[in-house]
Amino acid sequence: MLKKLLIATACALVAGGAFAQAFPSKPIKMIVGFPPGGGTDVVARVISAKVQEWWGQPVTVENRPGATGTIGADYVAKSPADGYTLLMGHVNSTGLAPNLFPKLPYDPIKDFAAVAYVGYVPNVLAVHPSIPAKSVKELVALLKANPDKYNYASSGNGSTQHIAGEVFKQLTGTSIVHVPYKGSGDAIKDLLAGVVSMNFDTMPPVMPHIQAGKLRGLAISTPKRLAQLPDVPTFAEEGITGFDVTNWYGVMAPAGTSRDIVTKLNADINKAMQVPEVRARLENVGTQLREMSVAEFDAFMKAEVAKYAKIIKDTGVKIE
């Protein structure tokens, strides 16, 4: 009996390895829960373009936007667990949504297999030039002297920009009016026009305007200053500790996907991020790349759900 069990186990391992070696044998879909042209979409397309060269199969990026990324995530959660439908995961659909929506149609941990972490994009506190504050300290003083006079834009209720603004208010004891938009594009347009006072957007939308002098960057949510914005200090440098809000990206598959396939996907995606032209394209849009094993990414996802549960409880953020 024991001999038969050992033989069966060995056969299963060989079969699994052979299956992973043959994968993929047909086109793969990479689902993005946001419209084309955004950060998540760009990251998905850059990585997909590289890995499909090695796999000899097309990797099609399919946009299924809506509800802060949860529509696309739900689609992948309910897809076959065969490795052919993947999600370019995002902090919104994994860390934020479970703590904001009482009836989310999927579980961010139980319904997904962690595949590969890609990196994060920092948030930047940017103000309109008409705001008479040249530093975070001056801005905090201005806001405390004028509660609710100034406002901040976000790309929508429950977005990382929204959460970042509320965390800033809590850490600094200030009161700023939140103005949600349907996306970063409209929010930046009104910020440039002076309709809103400031925002806490991700780096790609605000970076060119800060570099051009059309917006003033006061702080960035990275441990160290970035070469792309060398004159913008970190929040820590400005005396704001605990500002830990960033957009991150990572590839996920439906729960139950073969471990062999997940391991192969992890290895190839991490390999793609080491290719110089891939790194350059992702870093040029502000992505801070980091390689993780499957186990490390799985632990990271669980930690993000717990982290944002505390942040949302502490700040009292609700979907308005």
Quick one: pLDDT at residue 158?
86
User: Residue 142's closest CA among 171, 164, 172?
Assistant: 172
Counting as low any pLDDT under 70, the low residues of the chain are 1-21, 320
Quick one: pLDDT at residue 210?
96
Pair of tokens at residue 129: 């030039």
Dihedral through CA 260, CA 265, CA 268, CA 273, nearest 10? Answer: -150
Domains of the chain: 27-120+247-315 (3.40.190.150), 124-220 (3.40.190.10)
CA distance linking residue 281 with residue 204, whole number of Å: 12
Quick one: pLDDT at residue 12?
47
Pair of tokens at residue 40: 């998540």
What do you get for the CA distance between the two ends of the chain, in Å?
A: 62
At 221, phi and psi to the nearest 5? -90, 55
User: Tell me: the pLDDT tens digits for 186-211?
Assistant: 899 999 999 999 999 988 889 999 99
Pair of tokens at residue 262: 């997940």
Would you call 12 exposed, middle or buried from its count of C-beta atoms within 10 A (0-12, 13-18, 19+)?
Answer: exposed
CA distance linking residue 156 with residue 153, whole number of Å: 8
CA distance linking residue 61 with residue 66, whole number of Å: 16
Mean pLDDT across the chain, nearest whole number?
91
CA angle 276/29/306 to nearest 5° reads 80
CA distance linking residue 196 with residue 190, whole number of Å: 6
